[in-house]
Amino acid sequence: MASILGRNTVWTRLLNGCSRNLGRPTAKHHRTLAETIMLRWRLLLGTLIIAALIALGWLDHLSTVPGIWLMPVVVGFAILASGDILYLAEAGGMRPLPWTVYGGNLLLIASNWIPRACFGPKDVVSTVGPMAWPLLALGIGVLVVFFGEMRRYEKPGSVAVNLAAAVFGLVYVGVMLSFVIQLRMMWGVGALASLIIVVKMGDTGAYTVGRLIGRHKMAPVLSPGKTIEGAFGALAFACLGAWATFHWLVPSLTTSPSQAGLSWGWLPFGLLVGLTGLFGDLAESLIKRGVGCKDSSRWLPGFGGVLDILDSILLAAPVAWFCWAIGLV
């Protein structure tokens, strides 16, 4: 009898201990709860951003002045992305002059609109070509970068590194965003939508397929979370997005009906833009790994910085522009 009571006492203690442990939040529980809250925040914020962009895009499509509704958005992106570049540069021990990066990128963005407003679209496009003004703005920006470094020069050191960081910021943000702008200015909101939809569908495919069946690491040192299976998923989703976009959305939104809805152009467009979008994501990972940062900035909880949102779009934009320019789509 005593032995039974003893055993019961032991079991009672074990059960009481288990109940106490079950009722006490663990570190894993806190981590799971934080991840759930962050996921909900990302979904909410992402939905709001997408809804706002759709509304502005539709208003811009209806407007008689190309880009009038989307211009403030692009200017805001350029300013925030310039701040991200400066944040990453500082983390890597570089000190480019902030005013040269901000000013140069704003000049690059403005160069896509000001000539059209002053001289008219036909004169500008037929005389020097659509990308001539952004290239001229880039040249002026580089001159300003050199001028700024000359003004603050005191002793030998990191001048070349600071020059390179500033010029890189102008090319990576200002020039690449100029390709995004020219898609809208030359072919309408539909062309801009084709870039964004295909790239973001690729991002969705990479994440979804990678989480479901991803087994083989694509770049284990550079980006451990990306898999080869996810890369194929990105291309498949990008092509799906391109097919849907060019069959339904683009014909109703482009300003060039003769180029809308070709029966075969969506496939190479989806493959090329999806591939460069995937490459753009890895490219920004390279920059962040090089300076030891997880995100390009901390101003947007759950997303990081603007560059973490735009990274795949920036490098895919020249490819999308080229596809439209040669009449592939």
In this prediction, residue 1 has a pLDDT band, given cuts at 50, 70 and 90, of very low
| Residue found under tokens 């439209």 | 324
In this prediction, residue 282 has a pLDDT band, given cuts at 50, 70 and 90, of very high
Residues in contact with 292: Cβ distance below 8 Å, sequence separation at least 6, in sequence order: 91, 92
Average pLDDT taken over every residue of the chain: 84
The model carries a pTM of: 0.84
- Cα separation, 182 vs 131, in Å, equals 8
> Contact at 8 Å (CB) between 199 and 274?
yes
> Contact at 8 Å (CB) between 286 and 222?
yes
**For the residues 159-186, what does the mean pLDDT come to?**
96
Residue 15 in this model has a pLDDT that exceeds 50: no
In this prediction, residue 27 has a pLDDT band, given cuts at 50, 70 and 90, of low
Could you tell me whether strands 217-219 and 223-227 are parallel, antiparallel, or unpaired per DSSP bridges?
antiparallel
> Contact at 8 Å (CB) between 104 and 174?
yes
pLDDT at 157: 83
- Cα separation, 168 vs 161, in Å, equals 10
- The DSSP call for residue 219 is E
Q: Which is more confident, 39 or 291?
A: 291
Residue 262 in this model has a pLDDT that exceeds 80: no
pLDDT at 278: 95
pLDDT at 43: 67
**Structural domain boundaries of the chain?**
65-187, 188-329
Residue 197 in this model has a pLDDT that exceeds 80: yes
pLDDT at 4: 45
In this prediction, residue 5 has a pLDDT band, given cuts at 50, 70 and 90, of very low
Residue 248 in this model has a pLDDT that exceeds 90: no
